[in-house]
Structure 1
Amino acid sequence: MRNIADTIARMARAGAPTPRNTVPSRLTPLIEFGTNPGALLGHSYVPKDLPSGAPLVVVLHGCTQTAAGYDHGSGWSKLADSAGFALVFPEQTRANNPNLCFNWFASEDTAQAGGEAESIAQMTETMIARHGLDRSRIYVTGLSAGGAMTMAMLVTRPDLFAGGAVIGGLAYGTATGVSQALDRMRGHGDTSDTALVDMVRSGARGHDGRWPTLAIWHGGADATVSVANADTIARQWRGIHGVDAKAVRTERVGTAVHRIWSDTEGRDVVEDWTVPGMGHGTPIDPLRGERLGAAGPFMLDVGISSTTVIAKSWGLVSAAKAETAAKPAPVERVAKIAIPVSPKPAPKSAPKPRAEAPTGIQATIENALRAAGLMR
């Protein structure tokens, strides 16, 4: 396990968390969605005149992000307008996590009852009931900490979700604290295939039905969450589906390498997308195809829209709308910003305003400590 000095040094080199940018929100606050044991906020987007029986996508932002900011960068609500599906965006609060990370490494927040995962499930059920949505077409996706929480939702609610997509995330149950989470992010601490599957079965509490499908997205040059985590997720989900790791189809889509594993029925159950040269963030393509999203921190213009490709894999958009050709220009690298994790303080009260930050070396040290969850 890495010591504190190493952690601080690595985070100082990566830089402090980026302040949230204010962007125009297309989302509507979601209120009265249940007991909300995880004390999360909720937002929704429902296109005008959306018919009953439409699909629903749950979208989980990454650390330092907001629901509106992630929607702006990824373009999910814009795609919902043209394709016809509803969206719900759970949002973390600083009272839960100072860096706005979903607490994917806290067992109380990734279980079926009593924490953030249950709050997200309550939002999902509320959207289905209020808008008459199709219960058989409910999906979940997320970036980074939101990607790790996406795994928690697929595990704890396999009967609710038909499929999921994890971007720059981590496998379920592999970390139970901040130090362990930091090690897993770097790709340290391997877990056996059997143990990975056992973690899922334990979290699912006796589920014996069909498991959701899963798409895994990761940057080949991700220095924040090691690409080794993509392989761990694939091993975990191939194991739960009982598919042979060697029975894989591989193709290139632009610059991305796409691998697919199918079950005995011929259903594609696990997909892995690796984008060479890409750092930590969501792949977007704001200038081509559907012209979705906007480049920025954690929103990486690499000539492929993960939003469109993911939606296509779920049958939400037609193949004609899922143009994924890469740009001829080299992959642009957006500054890699450390994904901060921190333990949940108790009680969940409003955070105190931060004093004006110092400058120079002192600022770098304090920002690294804060990113590691060691300083407020």
Structure 2
Amino acid sequence: MHFRSTLIAASVALLDVANAAQGQLQSVTTFNAGPTKATMHVYIPTKKLSPAPIIVAIHYCTGTASAYFSSTQYATLADTHGFIVIYPESPSSGKCWDVASTASLTHNGGGDSKTIVNMVSYAVTNYGGDATKVYATGSSSGAMMTNVLAGAYPDVFKAGSAYSGVPDGCFYVAGATAGMATPGWNNQCAAGTLTKTAQQWGDLTRSYYPGYNGSYPKMLIWHGTADTTLAYPNFAEDLKQWSNVFNINFTKDVANTPQSAYTQKIYGDGTQLIGYSGQGVGHTVPVHETVDLAWFGIA
């Protein structure tokens, strides 16, 4: 998928924090389950729980598994809490994820989403991962993939945390409407001008897995008001989408949470959907690993 250089450049703006993990990131050369050529990298803590929860941490455009490993603290926290971290790496030339193909947006349909799900299965079989405690998180293009995984594979993932993305399937819908054979980057989605009703967004997510009657992963949605790459209105559209999936309404705002200049937006009773709006924050919102772990129920 082709993403514009603005997204590629801005997506590198993550927390400038050195990873203090005790071990090293491992490239899993024996993983070949496909269907795409995305590669699997893992961090296995020395003191691993048995079975161990699994977090899938998904990089941004131009990113790599190694870059996301180094710029986030998931691996360091794994040393304390004993979970496994999978760092998938995109096979595309620009290192963006396929979040717009029919295959990737269909349960067991293929695409990068299915390859990532196969990585989870590999970790369960080979590393003692807990198939009942699997979580996804990512930044920018990785946030989009987090949404895709939550929508297309709600039977695999229990929770997600998406940093500065767009509504689930936005690039697909916009591209299909424009008659693109292979939907990819779309200016409407990037600018946040593609709006739908909550029902329309929710129906899109539900369409990925026809006949599914189970629960969907609980979601955290993060966005900055000063995002000029994937504009701030995407935040509201994303929250509309998931509020419809969960059939819950906005409840209240909580100021200066989880830190100064952030507003927590609670939906329902706060157990299924929460948004975090960062005042003056650009692309992307810095990763809040400890908030994520609490949301996942790991710490």
Find the aligned partners of 1:51 and 1:159 in 2 and give their Cα distance: 22
The answer as to whether partners of 2:198 and 2:244 remain within 8 angstroms in 1 is yes
2:212 equivalent in structure 1: 207
The answer as to whether partners of 2:221 and 2:275 remain within 8 angstroms in 1 is yes
The answer as to whether partners of 2:131 and 2:156 remain within 8 angstroms in 1 is yes
Superposed counterparts of 1:71-150, under 5 Å: 71-93=69-91, 97-112=92-107, 113-150=109-146
1:197 equivalent in structure 2: 202
1:276 equivalent in structure 2: 279
Decide whether aligned partners of structure 1 residues 16 and 150 sit closer, same or farther in structure 2, where only a CA change above 3 A counts: closer
Decide whether aligned partners of structure 1 residues 268 and 33 sit closer, same or farther in structure 2, where only a CA change above 3 A counts: same
1:252 aligns with 2:234: no
Decide whether aligned partners of structure 1 residues 136 and 84 sit closer, same or farther in structure 2, where only a CA change above 3 A counts: same
Give the SS at the match of 2:138: strand
Residue 46 of structure 1 and its aligned partner are, at CA, apart by: 0.8
Residue 210 of structure 1 and its aligned partner are, at CA, apart by: 1.3
Residue 249 of structure 1 and its aligned partner are, at CA, apart by: 4.7
- Counterpart residue identity of residue 203, structure 1: Y
CA RMSD of aligned residues (A): 2.5
Decide whether aligned partners of structure 1 residues 159 and 309 sit closer, same or farther in structure 2, where only a CA change above 3 A counts: same
The answer as to whether partners of 1:26 and 1:77 remain within 8 angstroms in 2 is no
Give the SS at the match of 2:63: coil
The answer as to whether partners of 2:11 and 2:60 remain within 8 angstroms in 1 is no
Find the aligned partners of 1:248 and 1:89 in 2 and give their Cα distance: 34
1:200-258, Cα deviation, whole Å (9 max, x unpaired):
1110222101111000111111100111111111111110100023x235242222111
- Counterpart residue identity of residue 162, structure 1: K
1:292-340, Cα deviation, whole Å (9 max, x unpaired):
xxxxxxxxxxxxxx111111222222xxxxxxxxxxxxxxxxxxxxxxx
TM value normalised by structure 2: 0.85
Residue 121 of structure 1 and its aligned partner are, at CA, apart by: 0.3
TM value normalised by structure 1: 0.68
Residue 171 of structure 1 and its aligned partner are, at CA, apart by: 1.3
1:239 equivalent in structure 2: 244
Decide whether aligned partners of structure 1 residues 146 and 17 sit closer, same or farther in structure 2, where only a CA change above 3 A counts: closer
1:140-188, Cα deviation, whole Å (9 max, x unpaired):
0011111101111011110111100000111112222456623201101
Residue 62 of structure 1 and its aligned partner are, at CA, apart by: 0.2
Find the aligned partners of 2:228 and 2:112 in 1 and give their Cα distance: 27
Moved more, 253-262 or 230-239: 253-262
Moved more, 115-124 or 177-186: 177-186
Decide whether aligned partners of structure 1 residues 31 and 228 sit closer, same or farther in structure 2, where only a CA change above 3 A counts: same
- Counterpart residue identity of residue 170, structure 1: V
Give the SS at the match of 2:29: coil
Unaligned runs of 5+ in 1: 1-6, 285-305, 318-376
- Counterpart residue identity of residue 78, structure 1: T
- Counterpart residue identity of residue 289, structure 2: T
Find the aligned partners of 1:184 and 1:151 in 2 and give their Cα distance: 15
Find the aligned partners of 2:94 and 2:216 in 1 and give their Cα distance: 32
1:39 aligns with 2:37: yes
Find the aligned partners of 2:203 and 2:104 in 1 and give their Cα distance: 19
Decide whether aligned partners of structure 1 residues 66 and 271 sit closer, same or farther in structure 2, where only a CA change above 3 A counts: same
Decide whether aligned partners of structure 1 residues 179 and 72 sit closer, same or farther in structure 2, where only a CA change above 3 A counts: closer
Identical-pair percentage: 25
Runs of at least 4 residues off by over 6 Å: 14-18
